Structures are given as C-alpha cells and as structure tokens.
C-alpha cells in the first residue's frame, strides 16, 4: 500500500494533546506506519517546541520594499539587455573597421602621416610632389572615428 | 497580493518557516538569509492563490527548494552540523537541547524535511510530496523509513521517549 493511513494525523494529534481513544490505540497496535509515527511524535513535538530564535525576524514592510526594489532593478536590466547587446555589436563592428583600414591601407596611411613630418612640409613648401590620401579612405576614417566617439558617449551617458 | 495582505500573511507564517529552515540547516544566520529569499521569491512570483493554506504550502515548498539548493551548493551539510551550533549547545555541554539538535542534524536533509512537515506542520503526504518534489506515493515509505531511523537513533542515544500510549 502506498496511500496514507487515514488515522495517521489522529495518532500524531493524540500524541501531542493526549486525545487517545481505545479504537485509536487498537489501530496503532496493528498499523506499522502509525506505530512508527507514535514512536517519534513525542520527541519531535518536544524538539519543535524548543524555540531557538533569539532575535526579531525582518520587518515585512522592509522585505516588501526590498523585493520591489529588486524587482525594479531586474526589470531595468531586462529592458536594457537589447541595448547592451547592440552596443557590444557596434563596438565589434567599429573594431573590425579599424582593423581592416589599418591592415589594407597601412602603406597609404604611413605615407600620409609622414606627409606631416617637418622634412616633407619643407618639400611641400618648395613645390615638390607630396602624397595624399584617397577620398574614400579619408571618409572611412572620419566615419569610424565619429562612430567610435558616438558609441563611447552613448555608453557613458547610458551608465549615468 | 498587496502589501497589507503580505504583512498579515508574513506575520502568521514567518516564525514557523524560520524554525523549519533553522532545523533543516542548523544555522541561524542561514535561516535568516533563506527566510528572506523565500519571501522575496514569494513576492516576485506573486502567486494568484487566495487560499491561506495553499499559500502557506507554497511558501514551505519555496523554502524547501532553497534549503536543498543550499545543501547542493555547499555539499557540507553533514560536516557542518556541529560547526553551526551556538556555544550554549555545543557537545561539551552535554545538555538535552544539544543532544536533540544533534540527533536531528544527523538525519539526511530529506528525512528532516519529511519529519518536520509531517509532525510539526501537520502536512498530509500529498502536501509533503509537493513541498519536497517527489511522488506522493513514495512518501509513505520514505516517511516510515525516516521515522524508523529517528527511532533507532533516539534509542541508541538514550533519548527515546517514554511510553507514548
């Protein structure tokens, strides 16, 4: 049998409050479950009666407030999750863009940077031939720089 | 559930839930922590239940899950049994209060939950099954074994109760 003995709770109650009846005693003598329950019930009742708590439990109003604050923070985090993901994606795209430009146009960039060295400036002033960066690369650099600053500003402002 | 209803429910049940968690973990600070977590979960989930008994069972189920999670995390519940005991109930005192707590802590966590819910909270087998997350049909055997084990431990320690009938 796997079902609960219908007298089990009566037996536990009888042990606790002494409300034994003759029929209940007869039942306990023939029911292994109730006999086991009756055996340990007095000890458990006594054990449960020993109050070990020496302090006051947290105030329910404080718990309610804390729970509501936690709920709000969790909701904010949930709402901000898509934005955070977009920011990460934007950082990755910008980093990839910078890596691509620095890899493919490194020679042109090197030459363009050298263009600002004092020696080249003197040559430029005397009318000698100077290097210039193609318009598409310049536009790409400006766009990437703007995007980097934009995403960084967004991250800072969003955190604030 | 609104705040006044929660407050009323909390004042009615929190003491019992704390005792249950404390007897399960044997750690008053942990009991405080898990009690708060239990009620945080309760508020967050906001169960659409109005029956007070059902609500009480829901809280005990949550508390049981948290206690078992705690045991799984620490995996030290058997060895911690003595460490947590307050100074006034340490083994060297040899008092009854300590002996009783020691016997209970020597039981397996699931046995502690079974016995407490059945005898102290007066739950039915179905309610216990719901709280500890096992099939209702298994409770009868599990509870019988837990009672027998406790009975044997009490006899061995000389704490067996006097004639019960």
Residue B124 Rama label (left phi>0; alpha psi -120 to 50; beta) = beta
Burial state string for A99-118 with b = 16 or more CB within 10 A and e = fewer than 16: eebeeebeeeeeebeeeeee
- C-alpha A79/C-alpha A75 separation (Å) is 6
Q: Pick the residue from chain A with its C-alpha nearest to B159.
A: A43
Residue A5 has pLDDT above 70, yes or no: yes
User: Chain B residues with CB inside 8 Å of A23's CB?
Assistant: none
Q: What is the pLDDT of residue B165?
A: 43
Q: What is the pLDDT of residue B20?
A: 93
Q: Is the ipTM of this structure higher than 0.90? A: no
Q: Identify from B23, B103, B158, B165 which residue to disrupt to test chain A contact, counting A C-beta atoms within 10 A and taking the largest count.
A: B165
- What proportion of chain B, given as a percentage, has pLDDT over 90? 53
pLDDT tens-digit series, residues A129-141: 556 678 888 888 8
Radius of gyration of chain A (CA): 40
For the residues B46-68, what does the mean pLDDT come to?
Answer: 88
Q: What is the pLDDT of residue B26?
A: 86
Residue B46 has pLDDT above 60, yes or no: yes
- C-alpha B15/C-alpha A53 separation (Å) is 9
User: Chain B residues with CB inside 8 Å of A12's CB?
Assistant: 118-119, 122
pLDDT-derived band at B58 (thresholds 50, 70, 90) equals very high
Q: What is the pLDDT of residue A27?
A: 92
Picking from B88, B84, B98, the residue whose alpha carbon sits closest to that of residue B28 is B84
Q: What is the pLDDT of residue B45?
A: 84
Q: What is the pLDDT of residue A124?
A: 66
Greater model confidence, A54 or A87: A87
Q: What is the pLDDT of residue B84?
A: 52
Question: How many angstroms away from the CA of A36 is the closest CA of chain B?
Answer: 6
pLDDT tens-digit series, residues A60-107: 999 999 888 988 888 888 888 888 899 999 999 999 999 998 898 888
Residue A153 has pLDDT above 60, yes or no: yes
pLDDT tens-digit series, residues A8-26: 888 988 888 888 888 999 9
pLDDT tens-digit series, residues B69-96: 998 888 755 555 545 555 445 454 557 7
Counting every residue written for chain A, the total comes to: 160
Q: What is the pLDDT of residue B76?
A: 59
Q: What is the pLDDT of residue B164?
A: 44
Q: Identify from B7, B45, B99, B118 which residue to disrupt to test chain A contact, counting A C-beta atoms within 10 A and taking the largest count.
A: B118
Question: How many angstroms away from the CA of B76 is the closest CA of chain A?
Answer: 22
Structure tokens that stand for A1 in this block: 């049998």
pTM across the whole model: 0.69
Residue A156 to residues A79, A119, B74, Cα–Cα distance (Å): 18, 41, 39
Neighbour-count burial of B97, counting CB atoms closer than 10 A to its CB (0-12 exposed, 13-18 middle, 19+ buried):
middle
């Amino acid at each position: 049998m796997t079902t609960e003995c219908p007298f089990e709770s009566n037996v536990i109650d009888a042990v606790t409050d002494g409300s034994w009846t003759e029929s209940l005693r007869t039942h306990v003598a023939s029911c292994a479950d109730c006999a086991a329950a009756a055996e340990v019930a007095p000890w458990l009742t006594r054990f449960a009666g020993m109050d070990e708590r020496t302090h006051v439990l947290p105030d329910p109003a404080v718990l309610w407030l804390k729970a509501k604050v936690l709920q709000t923070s969790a909701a904010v985090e949930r709402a901000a999750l898509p934005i955070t993901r977009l920011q990460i994606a934007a950082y990755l795209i910008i980093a990839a863009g910078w890596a691509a430009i620095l890899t493919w146009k490194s020679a042109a960039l090197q030459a363009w940077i050298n263009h600002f060295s004092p020696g080249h400036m003197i040559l430029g002033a005397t009318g000698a031939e100077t290097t210039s960066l193609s318009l598409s690369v310049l536009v790409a650099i400006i766009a990437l720089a703007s995007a980097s600053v934009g995403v960084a500003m967004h991250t800072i402002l969003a955190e604030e | 559930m609104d705040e006044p209803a929660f407050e009323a429910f909390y004042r009615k049940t929190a003491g019992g839930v704390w005792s249950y968690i404390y007897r399960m973990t044997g750690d008053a600070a942990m009991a405080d922590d898990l009690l708060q977590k239990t009620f945080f979960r309760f508020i967050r989930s906001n169960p659409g239940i109005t029956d007070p008994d059902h609500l009480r069972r829901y809280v005990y189920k949550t508390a049981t899950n948290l206690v078992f999670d705690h045991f799984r995390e620490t995996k030290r519940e058997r060895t911690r049994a003595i460490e947590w005991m307050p100074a006034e109930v340490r083994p060297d005192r040899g008092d009854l209060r300590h002996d009783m707590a020691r016997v209970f802590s020597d039981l397996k966590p699931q046995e502690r939950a079974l016995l407490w819910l059945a005898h102290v909270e007066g739950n039915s087998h179905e309610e216990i099954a719901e709280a500890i997350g096992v099939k209702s049909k298994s409770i009868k055997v599990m509870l019988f074994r837990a009672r027998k084990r406790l009975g044997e431990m009490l006899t061995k320690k000389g704490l067996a109760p006097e004639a019960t009938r």
